[in-house]
Structure 1
Amino acid sequence: MQIRRKIELAFGVILCLLLLTAGQGLWMFIHTKSALGELRQAFSDVLLLDDLKVLIYRQAKEIPDYLTGHDPDAKEEFRSYAAQIAMRFHESDRLAGTPVQARYLGDLRRAYAAHARLADRIFRAYDSKQYRRALGLMEHDVENIALPALDQAVASLHRALYASSFERVMAQAQSFERTAQMVSLLAVLTTFGAGLLIFLWLSRGLVRPINALVEATREVGQGNLDIQGLPVSRDEIGELASAFSGMVQRIKHFQTQIVETEQMASIGATAVAVAHGLRNPLASVRALAQVALVEHESFPAVNESLHEIIAEVDRLNARISHLLTFAVPARLHPVSADLNDVIERVVADFQQIKPQQVVFALHLDPGLPSVQLDTVHMKEVLREIVLNALEAMPDGGDVRVATKRGEGPEGRPILILEVADTGRGIAVEALPHVFEPFYTTRADGTGLGLSIVRRLVEQQGGTVAVESHPGAGACVRLTFPLHEPGERM
């Protein structure tokens, strides 16, 4: 995951926490609004009851107004109030929220019904000219019985409403308080846990890899190129670590090349001195041996010894040339060449001198394009490889030479050349050292053949590798870059 994605994910988690906090605030607002609604409902119930009480008392006031004649329409107004009171009683059905409230509301209804019946008796008595009886009923029953009963019923219902409303509001407040505490605690724990996880995740994904890179940089700065523990990931830090590792590997390669160059310079100076000190005496020995051959032509035994002397001198000269070729860097003159043609020429030379038991098999891709090579040194490379193959098959065998196209690093096209034999193969412990200078497993070998091959191939931009299994032969694999038309080399 890229660093940008990690930061976006961390920001997303933080945004979720903010949304959680906002949700908590919204939840608290909703519950607070609900509690306020309960309070408003309680006040509305009390106001309804007070309005009912006021209407009943106003209705009761119409009785003396009717009896005293102050208001001839008092009886009709009494009935109008009765309709309003009936409507208020209908609305007050919601006040029976608890059994206690229902009982007190029933008491109020019964008290008002008794009051209404008493008022009806008073009106009938007054209308039938029983003024004294009507006045007595009003003064005794209405003022001393009916209205006090209504007052007591209203007061009881008031107390029940207040108690019920208070209990509901307090219960909701306590529930809200408990839930708010739990939600707040959960929000705090969630925020802390998420923050800790984000910190650990970012620390593991960013801080630790960066610290590892810083430590690796210090190690490289102190000259230690065997670094380990570089971060491995698919983000930019992983790419940086991979590039850093590649840079360190290139530094190690350059250091190795510098050491080898210094060694080669020392070997070159020694080789030139040795060649200069040996070639002149060897030339004299060879010349004297040839003169002796002419002078003692009639002595076969002497001639045989002289021929052996000349052969050994030639062998020493060949080894000196080998050493000089390895010690002194070759000057290349690359040209556009057909690698298949170079291979066919070298194999043709070997077919003239090869043992009878050796069979060459060519599998050359006819569609290969031309490649930039120094043909002279390329022939030398092929001769060294084929000679090694022949020496590995003293009893004969097959030598297979093949060319083909392939893909190199980053998918770039390459040309592949393989030379395989069916000889005794290379020992497992010797395989890692075959390209090292002066490393050989043969008593009469110089250990420079494959070293020269590697140098000449790498000077031409190629690579060389050897695969082998003891008893199953060996395969030398060379690769060279193929350049598209118009591409700079």
Structure 2
Amino acid sequence: MIRSTSATIRLLILPYAGLLLLYVLVVIGTGLWLGHQPPGTAAAAGPLLSLVMVLALAGGAGILIGLTIALVAVGESRRAEGHIQEIYRRASLTEMAAELVHDLRNPLMALRANAKALLVSPEQTAEIIAEIDRDIVALNRKLTGFLDLTRKQDEIFAPTEPGTLIADAVRLAEPILRKQGLGILLDIESTLPTVDLQAGAIRDALLNLLINGAQSGQRSGSIQIGARAVRHGLRIEVDDRGSGIAAGDLPRLFTPFFTTKADGNGLGLAIVRRIVQAHHGRVWLENRAGGGVRVTLILPLEQPEIPGWWKPRPIDSRT
């Protein structure tokens, strides 16, 4: 929900226009006042009228110069903001790409070894091909996760019913949890307010958290997802009763490619954090006192309005 640039520029101009109008009114008022003075008094006040007019013109020129400087400064600030964001984006992508390459080396070496094994042990072709297929699926998952993490979110923010959105995520997660022998327990307030969201992105984040809960080591029972209104926001909690997280691993869980699972790609929670941050929200993870993990999301009811004149100007990535 970005305010239009033209509307914000008008807001920037209004104070200067008001000051300029005030100066004009002062000049006109002074002239009218002097015009109604007796002839002798009016003649004596001539230098005063000249001084007032000079000061008014100087003030008006100062206002116009100040407005010009402000507009130029805003333009340069937008350009600098765009450059900073582009530099940060490139640095983040470079770091993640380096980690991705490092993580892909072992699966690729396994593929190469299995390909050679086909020549050495042709009688085990079916098993080797099945193993190659598993490696390719794992590589595809990792690459897909990397693309999801770096893809620009172009979905429009729109008023969304949280209960309906959570129910949609639960519907998608149920078959996966059912295979693990788990259910889903809902604890959602009946009077939740509508929230400005990218509905598809938040649904994907919740689906990711529910699948994480299914992979937590919990063998029975249900994964619980709850939602309630808090001050100026929506709080969503996803609880599992799995094995929990080692205290030393907690600070790194949202780091791309870090995982505590043998078959994990380390991108699920990083994608969740990226989505929540795009909503100007917060997300954190903690071990529950009764065992398992709780993931908490706080999302604002409305997205903050960023002035159009401060919206960073796009930078040509080829430069």
Kindly state the Cα deviation for residue 307 of structure 1 after the two structures are TM-superposed.
4.3
Q: Structure 1 residues 366, 430: CA separation in 2 closer, same or farther (over 3 Å shift)? A: same
In 2, Cα distance between the equivalents of 1:432 and 1:339?
A: 29
1:377 is matched with: 201
Q: Is contact 1:268-1:328 (8 Å) kept?
A: no
CA distance in structure 1 between the partners assigned to 2:262 and 2:137 by the alignment: 18
Tell me the residue number matched to 2:93. Answer: 265
Matches within 5 A, 1:294-333: 302-303=125-126, 305-333=128-156
Contact 1:424–1:470 under 8 Å retained in 2: no
The aligned residue for residue 34 of structure 2 is none
Displacement, 1:302?
4.8
SS class of match (1:362): strand
| Separation (CA, whole Å) in 2 of partners of 1:428 and 1:330 | 32
RMSD: 3.6
Structure 1 distance, partners of 2:288, 2:224, is 16
Letter in 1 for 2:292: G
> Matches of residues 252-291 of structure 1 in structure 2 within 5 Å?
261-267=89-95
Kindly state the Cα deviation for residue 343 of structure 1 after the two structures are TM-superposed: 1.4
Q: Deviations over 1:75-98 (max 9, x none)?
A: xxxxxxxxxxxxxxxxxxxxxxxx
Give 2:182's aligned residue.
358
Amino acid at match of 2:164: D
2:281 matched to 1:453?
no
Q: Please tell me whether residue 435 in structure 1 is matched to residue 254 in structure 2.
A: yes
What's 1:338 paired with?
161
Contact kept, 8 Å, 1:466 with 1:477, in 2: the verdict is: yes
> Residue by residue, what CA displacement relative to the aligned partner does 1:31-63 show, whole Å, maximum 9, x if unpaired?
xxxxxxxxxxxxxxxxxxxxxxxxxxxxxxxxx
In the alignment, what sits opposite 1:477?
Answer: 296
Distance in 2 of aligned mates of 1:317 and 1:463: 29
Amino acid at match of 1:427: A
- By how many angstroms is 1:448 displaced? 2.1
CA distance in 1, matches of 2:172, 2:91: 34
| Counterpart Cα distance in 2 of 1:469 and 1:260 | 35
Secondary structure of the corresponding residue to residue 447 of structure 1: coil
Cα gap change, 1:444/1:429 in structure 2, threshold over 3 Å: closer, same or farther? same
Identity %, equivalent residues? 29
Q: Name the amino acid aligned to 1:319.
A: K
Distance (Å, rounded) in 2 between the aligned partners of 1:379 and 1:335: 14
User: Is it true that 1:464 corresponds to 2:288 in the alignment?
Assistant: no
Query: Where in structure 2 are there 5+ consecutive unaligned residues?
Result: 1-84, 116-122, 307-319
Q: 1:386 aligns with which of 194, 206, 210?
A: 210
Q: Any residues of structure 2 matched to 1:78-227 within 5 Å, and which?
A: none
- Displacement of 1:437 in angstroms is 2.4
When residues 321 and 470 of structure 1 are mapped into structure 2, their CA distance, relative to the original with a 3 A threshold, is: farther
Shift of 1:346: 1.7
Q: 1:422 to 1:308 in 2, by over 3 A?
A: same
The residue type equivalent to 1:406 in the other structure is: V
Q: Give the equivalent residue in structure 2 for 1:177.
A: none
Quick one: structure 1 residues 399 and 336, their matched pair in 2 at CA, closer, same or farther if it must change by over 3 Å?
same
Pick closer, same or farther for the CA change 1:365–1:334 going to 2, 3 Å. same
Asked if the contact 1:397/1:421 (under 8 Å) is kept, the reply is no
Which residue identity does 1:357 align to in structure 2? G
3-state SS of paired residue (1:387): helix
TM-score normalised over the length of structure 1: 0.37
Measured in 2, the distance between the counterparts of 1:470 and 1:431 equals 15
Bigger RCO of structures 1 and 2 (CA < 8 A, at least 6 apart): 2
Which residue number in structure 2 is paired with residue 253 of structure 1? Answer: none
Deviation of residue 430 (structure 1)?
1.6
Whose Rg is larger?
1
> Measured at CA, do residues 269 and 467 of structure 1 come closer, stay the same or move farther in structure 2, by a change above 3 Å?
closer
Q: 1:433 to 1:270 in 2, by over 3 A?
A: closer
Cα distance in 1, alignment partners of residues 293 and 87 from structure 2: 29
CA, structure 1 residues 335+389, in 2 after alignment: closer, same or farther (shift >3 Å)?
A: same
Q: Does 1:444 align with 2:263?
A: yes
Does the C-alpha gap of structure 1 residues 356 and 322 become closer, same or farther in structure 2, counting only changes over 3 Å?
A: closer
